[in-house]
């Protein structure tokens, strides 16, 4: 009997998470120089991170023999101040991915169900399945989240509902007033998990106030990450905001010291550099608009996006991604989401967008020649 035969059936059934391929990996496979490769596949910040983060990490270098602060005191207090909540309402974690896992382990089991909008971040279904719970997909409407259908799908077995706005991989935004109504309408026995991973990219006037929602609904967890606008994806740090009792439950399941010392000091420094985050938001919006224009010129459809990526309608998505990769441009196929005809492209620096467009034009020109 192989080892895999003894693994739990519901674990074996989990679809593997398909990450964006690392630059070095693609360089090795296709014999390309890493410096010539453009990675616009994982919704990272192309501007890097705040220079204050580098300073904080350098200062930390001599103290790495010590375990990090288990309670993440500095980070927790900085986050509480930044969000206008009490420190007890903040739980730092190793990325929002860790929080998704904690939620599943604390609130799901066989016989319970998590509601997941169609075309949502793949980690939700993986987490639900990992504990033997049902992940119930609710169909989207024109690729956007159908809030009424989510409400209709709730049963007494539903204990968790995941909702991201802007959503990945579609980029769609739920109107703040509609989301407010949803927060109030969702039955109280369901833990609503609002995934704010891309919220800082939203124009302030359109941004949902998830902290205000916390004041109205107890059974609500807000997840945020430092991986996106703050540019710390490589360090793995995010946090949850919620009721202290709810966070206390999640904390019991957390791997001790899951938030490394580097992640803690970097996050504190990143949070303080509001100018960097604001510049990232503005430049992302400008470059997203430019990419949108270039796509329109080429007759390529895409969904309106409030995030740092666009979902393009390209025909055979995985095949195009492969052709682009051979030219040193890494983008993200989304067939794992049932979006075989689409491709997700992160908003890069202008030069990266240009490389993508040039590679795209070359693939299309080669295809025309074949015909
Ligand atoms: C919607 C959404 N939530 C959460 C995450 C995970 O972020 P983290 O790096 O904090 O684990 C991502 C990452 O792509 C995401 O797209």
Tokens of residue 18, six digits: 């398909």
Distance (Å) of CA 216 to CA 90, 213, 220, 351 = 17, 5, 9, 45
According to the model, what pLDDT value does residue 94 have? 98
CA angle 246, 148, 211 (to 5 degrees): 35
Ligand 1 atom having least distance to the Cα of 238: 10
**Domain boundaries of the chain, sorted by first residue:** 3-48+275-370, 51-273
The residue ranges of the chain whose pLDDT is under 70 are 1-3
Per-residue DSSP letter, 36: G
b (16+ CB within 10 A) / e for 36-51: ebbbbbbbbbbeebbe
Mutate to test the pocket of ligand 1, among 20, 197, 230 (most ligand atoms within 8 A of CB): 197
Q: Is the CB of 308 under 6 A from ligand 1?
A: no
Residue 84 confidence (pLDDT)? 98
The answer to whether the CB of 307 is under 6 A from ligand 1 is no
Determine the residue of 121, 127, 169, 198 to mutate for testing ligand 1's pocket, defined as the one with the most ligand atoms within 8 A of the Cβ atom. 121
Whether ligand 1 lies within 6 angstroms of the CB of 225 is answered as yes
Quick one: pLDDT at residue 369?
A: 83
For residue 167, give the ligand 1 atom closest to its CA.
1
- How buried is 283 (Cβ within 10 angstroms: 0-12 exposed, 13-18 middle, 19+ buried)? middle
Q: Tell me if 227 CB under 6 Å of ligand 1.
A: yes
20, 41 Cβ separation under 8 angstroms: yes
Q: Tell me, in angstroms, the distance from the centre of ligand 1 to residue 62's CA.
A: 30
Report the distance separating Cα 95 and Cα 255, nearest Å.
13
Residue with CA closest to ligand 1 atom 16: 168
Question: Is the CATH number of domain 51-273 3.40.640.10?
Answer: yes
Q: For ligand 1, is residue 333 a contact (CB within 6 Å)?
A: no
DSSP code of 57?
Answer: H
Q: Could you tell me if the CB of 122 is within 6 A of ligand 1? A: no
Helices 244-253 and 95-107: crossing angle in degrees, nearest 10, is 100
Predicted confidence at residue 20, as pLDDT, reads 80
What pLDDT does 1 receive? Answer: 54
Residues in the chain: 371
Contact 50, 210 (CB under 8 A): no
Our answer on whether the CB atom of 92 is closer than 6 Å to any ligand 1 atom is no
Mutate to test the pocket of ligand 1, among 225, 258, 260 (most ligand atoms within 8 A of CB): 225
Q: How far is the CA of 31 from the centre of ligand 1 (A)?
A: 30
Angle subtended by helix axes 73-83 and 261-272, to nearest 10: 30
Residue 216, φ and ψ in degrees, nearest 5: -100, -30
pLDDT at position 219 is: 97
102 lines ligand 1 (CB under 6 A): no
Q: Is 43 in the pocket of ligand 1 (CB under 6 A)?
A: yes
**In the CATH hierarchy, which top-level class contains the domain 3-48+275-370?**
alpha beta
HEC profile of 51-82 = HHHHHHHHHHHHHCCCCCCCCCHHHHHHHHHH
Closest ligand 1 atom to Cα of 233: 9
Nearest alpha carbon, ligand 1 atom 7: 96
Residue 2, pLDDT score: 63
β-bridge pairing 158-164 and 191-195: parallel
Ligand 1 contact, 258 CB (< 6 A)? no
Asked whether the bond before 337 is cis by omega within 30 degrees of 0, the reply is no
């Amino acid at each position: 009997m192989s080892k895999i035969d003894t693994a739990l059936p519901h674990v074996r059934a989990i679809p593997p998470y398909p990450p964006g391929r690392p630059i070095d990996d693609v360089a090795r496979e296709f014999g390309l120089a890493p410096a010539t490769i453009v990675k616009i596949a994982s919704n990272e910040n192309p501007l890097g991170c705040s220079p204050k983060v580098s300073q904080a990490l350098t200062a930390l270098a001599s103290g790495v023999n010590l375990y990090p602060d288990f309670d993440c005191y500095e980070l927790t207090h900085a986050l509480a101040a930044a969000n206008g909540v009490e420190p007890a309402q903040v739980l730092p974690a190793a990325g929002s991915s860790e929080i998704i896992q904690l939620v599943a382990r604390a609130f799901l089991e066989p016989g319970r169900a998590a509601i997941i909008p169609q075309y949502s971040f793949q980690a939700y279904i993986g987490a639900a399945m990992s504990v033997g719970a049902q992940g119930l997909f609710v169909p989207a409407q024109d690729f956007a989240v159908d809030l009424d259908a989510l409400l209709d799908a709730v049963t007494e077995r539903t204990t968790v509902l995941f909702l991201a706005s802007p959503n990945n991989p579609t980029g769609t935004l739920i109107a703040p007033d509609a989301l407010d109504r949803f927060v109030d309408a969702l039955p109280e026995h369901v833990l609503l998990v609002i995934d704010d991973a891309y919220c800082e990219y939203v124009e302030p006037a359109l941004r949902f106030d998830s902290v205000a929602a916390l004041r109205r609904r107890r059974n609500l967890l807000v997840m945020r990450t430092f991986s996106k606008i703050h540019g710390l994806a490589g360090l793995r740090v995010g946090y949850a905001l919620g009721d202290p009792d709810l966070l206390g439950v999640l904390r019991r399941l957390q791997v001790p010291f899951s938030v490394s010392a580097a992640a803690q000091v970097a996050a504190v420094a990143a949070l303080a550099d509001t100018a960097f985050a604001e510049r990232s938001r503005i430049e992302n919006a400008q470059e997203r608009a430019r990419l949108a224009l270039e796509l329109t010129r080429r007759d390529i459809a895409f969904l309106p996006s409030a995030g740092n990526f666009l979902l393009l309608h390209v025909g055979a998505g995985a095949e195009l991604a492969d052709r682009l990769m051979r030219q040193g441009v890494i983008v993200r196929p989304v067939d794992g989401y049932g979006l075989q005809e689409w491709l997700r492209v992160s908003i890069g620096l202008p030069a990266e967008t240009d490389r993508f467009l040039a590679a795209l034009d070359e693939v299309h020109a080669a295809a025309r020649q074949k015909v």
